[in-house]
Amino acid sequence: MKNYLEYKGYIGTVEFSAEDKVFFGKIHGINDVVTFEGTSVSELEKSFHEGVNDYLETCKMLNKIPDKVFKGSFNVRVSQDLHQKTAMLASKKGLNLNEIVKEALSYIVNHEEVLN
């Protein structure tokens, strides 16, 4: 079971407010905050599609790049033990930590079904 929506390469989160009795979400991978909501799953999905389409159209009118730019570096916080074991593994394989992390991330992206 997946708890997100996909449309035109964009991901939308799916959450539920019991208090308001409404499904809601946010579009990820863009430079701005765009939310959507609906009182049913089909209404939520329609609102998500409209949000993506409206955002793309607005970006086009403003001559703005819609997709968030990722710089290719980020900090990863792990336990000291995992850091040590990963560094030792990298040494055994003749690699550095960046190469080990890139390999691990590539594997996960290409085998996303292994994640729960």
Q: What is the pLDDT of residue 1?
A: 65
Question: Higher-confidence residue: 25 or 116?
Answer: 25
**For residue 58, which of 83, 80, 33, 24 has the smallest C-alpha distance?**
33
Which pTM was predicted? Answer: 0.76
Q: What is the pLDDT of residue 116?
A: 67
pLDDT at position 5 over 80: yes
Using alpha carbons, list the distances in angstroms from residue 58 to 33, 34, 69, 95, 105: 13, 12, 18, 45, 33
pLDDT in tens, 52-84: 999 999 999 999 999 999 999 999 999 999 999
pLDDT in tens, 24-49: 999 999 999 999 999 999 999 999 99
Question: Higher-confidence residue: 116 or 114?
Answer: 114
